[in-house]
Amino acid sequence: MQKIIILDFGSQTTQLIGRRVRELDTFCEIMPYNKYPEDGSDVIGVILSGSPFSVHDPEGFKPDLSRFVGRLPVLGICYGAQYYSYANGGKVEKTDTREYGRANLAYIDKTDKLFAGFDDNSQVWMSHGDSITAIPNDCRCIASTADVQYAAYASTEKPVWAVQFHPEVFHSVQGTQLLRNFVVDICGSRQDWSADSFVETTVNELKAQIGTDRVILGLSGGVDSSVAAVLLNKAIGDRLTCIFVDHGMLRKNEFRDVMEDYKCLGLNVIGIDASEKFFADLAGVTDPEQKRKIIGRDFVEVFNAEAKKIKDAKWLAQGTIYPDRIESLNITGKVIKSHHNVGGLPEEMHLSLCEPLKWLFKDEVRRVGRSMGMPEHLITRHPFPGPGLAVRILGDITREKVRILQDADDIYIRGLRAYKTRLSGEHARAVLAAGVPADMENGEIEVSLYDQIWQAGTVLLSTVRSVGVMGDERTYEHPVALRAVTSTDAMTADWAHLPYDFMAKCSNEIINKVKGVNRVCYDISSKPPSTIEWE
């Protein structure tokens, strides 16, 4: 299968480059900057990502590019562009002004394949302190801004192109056009990577991999495990047994609703209400890390006890997706994040691991779900923490606190789904690229607030009480905090700018209808420095 290799120099937008390439129906792999594959026979092009480093930093990443430069088309982005110039006789220098944010291409060589179809003064997104002040002898300038002479350059002797801006971000208005020009027109992609082709190929691969064996899958109600289950069900039918554990800290009516959804999908699901065990083991525990460990331990115990009843099972399936497995580099080049899905299996289970979604990004998982006809409300569900509402309750966990939070959160989430807004321009493109189904009309789309944000939830500040007045009586009850963030991969996130009229209505409804709450706050913290979840 054809593929593009993206060499990661530590940029926060490397995964976004990957998603943009996949949106062009082209398979790609993200690999550490120094791990170009030994067998590159199916590689049709290479992209060099950005980086938090300067090329002048002693610890900056400086790999040998000779294995593919001159043999395959190469596109350097930001640091990738600067490093190629630096390594081939050009010059990269600190400048008086750091260029960050929107810029316009004052000069574009539209005869170059990379800029075919570009408009004059096309807007791009810059993010660099250093700047290329001289390019290699065999290169020529193909784009400039008012402040940056070499906004883009190309080799006259080798298939090498480089840009100092970020075409992968939405603020680069014709960034997708540039990537299309590179991936399709320059690299020659056949564009045969799609949701439909993935389903067909994966179902056949699962049949060959599993044979006549039985598979166990732990369901969470989230989109990843649900799509994995439907894929496996298409491949092996009732030889798939799904286990859905209710630890008592799901959202309001979630266990009942999700079980009904799975029944409609024709899945063989065992639902287990283990809430008594979880509440008993969490009694009096306030430390968030301790809560997570107890819930994780109890989940494994409950899941394993049920799984052992399926005597002939040979496989354990997981909804692991591609971002879970990509090495995330910090400035020292060490892995800084491991994922809960990426680890060893309990030894006593003696099961082989099956991960049918391991090559997909989140938006691709949703496209695959739609390709298989899954209901939209399952596909567009926001991420939800494994420990559930336990990490959205500050302090110890009780059934009453969970009830309060479930009621408040239900009002909030239903409100987000019901509130529609019209979007245009960059915001509309971002929502459509994320796979949200919407029809463009006069350059605008109408979508719910829920579909515009990455994740939303409510936090109960159960360790805090605030004074309020209801009727003529004084109250002394808990505040709740509403959280909503926009993101592409949860590595970074910004707080969502929800409409004031929506927040006013939501706050009023929560305070009036949820006994135990007399104050509603809105969390306007971004990640970093905060995290998406409070605990």
Please classify residue 88 by burial: count the beta carbons closer than 10 Å to its beta carbon, then call 0-12 exposed, 13-18 middle and 19+ buried.
Answer: middle
* Residue 168 annotated among the catalytic residues of the structure: yes
Closest by alpha carbon to 172, among 194, 152, 192? 152
CA–CA distance, 320 with 220 (Å, rounded to integer): 12
| Helices 195-210 + 362-371 axis angle, to 10 | 90
The single-letter DSSP state of residue 152 is E
Tokens 């059934």, located at residue? 399
Active-site residue, from 168, 364, 477, 535: 168
Active-site residue, from 128, 139, 166, 535: 166
What sections of 211-253 are H helices per DSSP? 223-236
What 3-state class would DSSP assign to 53?
coil
CA–CA distance, 492 with 324 (Å, rounded to integer): 15
Which region holds residue 146: left if phi is over 0, alpha if psi is between -120 and 50, else beta?
Answer: alpha
Total Cβ atoms within 10 A of residue 503: 16
CA–CA distance, 208 with 468 (Å, rounded to integer): 63
Instruction: List the 313-317 sheet strands across, edge first.
Output: 269-273, 240-246, 214-219, 313-317, 352-354
Closest by alpha carbon to 336, among 528, 102, 128? 528
Give 127's contacts (C-beta < 8 A, 6+ positions apart): 50, 78, 99, 100, 101, 166
* Residue 78 annotated among the catalytic residues of the structure: yes
Do 230 and 372 touch, CB atoms closer than 8 A? yes
Give 22's contacts (C-beta < 8 A, 6+ positions apart): 28, 193, 361, 364
CA–CA distance, 417 with 338 (Å, rounded to integer): 32
Give 350's contacts (C-beta < 8 A, 6+ positions apart): none
Active-site residue, from 78, 139, 354, 506: 78
CA–CA distance, 238 with 214 (Å, rounded to integer): 9
Question: What positions carry a catalytic annotation?
Answer: 78, 166, 168
